[in-house]
Amino acid sequence: MKSQEKFFFDQIENIQKAMEEKEAEFDELLQVESAKFEKLLQEERAEYEKLLQEERAKARQCDVDSGTIENCRLRKEQAQRFIDCHVKDVEDFKAERDELIKAHEKKKAELEKELDAALTALMEKHKPDTFQASNK
C-alpha cells in the first residue's frame, strides 16, 4: 500500500510540475504577444504624432507666409481635409486595435482551455488503477 501511495504522490507531483511548466509557457507567450501589441500601438502613436506635427507646421507656415487670402484659405481647407481624414484613420485604428485585443483575449482563452484539457488528460493517464477500480 505504501508503494501505491508513493506512486500516487509522485504522479501528483509530476502533474503539478507539468502544470507549472505549461503555465510558465503560457505566461511567456502572453508576455510576447502583449509586447508585440504594445510596440505596434507605440509605433502607430508615433506616426500619428509625426503627421500631426507636420500639419501644424504647415498651418503655422500659412499664418507666417500669409500670402494671398486665397492661398491661406486653400491651405486651411487642405489642413482641414487632412485632419478629417486623420480623424477617420484614428477611428479605424481604434476599431482595429479593439479587434486585435479581442482576438488576443480569445487566443488567451483558447490556450487556457487547451492547458486545462491537456492537464485533465495527463491526470487521467496517470490515475492509479486502484482509484479507477473503485470509481467503477
Return the pLDDT at 81. 87
The alpha carbon of 29 is separated from its chain's Cα centroid by a whole number of angstroms, namely 10
Cα 7 from Cα 66, distance rounded (Å): 87
Q: In the chain, what are the domain boundaries?
A: 21-121
Cα 57 from Cα 63, distance rounded (Å): 10
- Which of the four pLDDT bands, split at 50, 70 and 90, describes residue 132? low
The model's pLDDT over 33-48, given as tens digits with 9 standing for 90+, comes to 889 888 988 998 898 8
* Mean model confidence pLDDT for the chain: 84
Cα 128 from Cα 118, distance rounded (Å): 18
Residue 127's φ and ψ, nearest 5 degrees, are -70, 130
| Entry pTM | 0.40
pLDDT exceeds 90 at position 133: no
The model's pLDDT over 50-70, given as tens digits with 9 standing for 90+, comes to 988 888 887 777 665 555 777
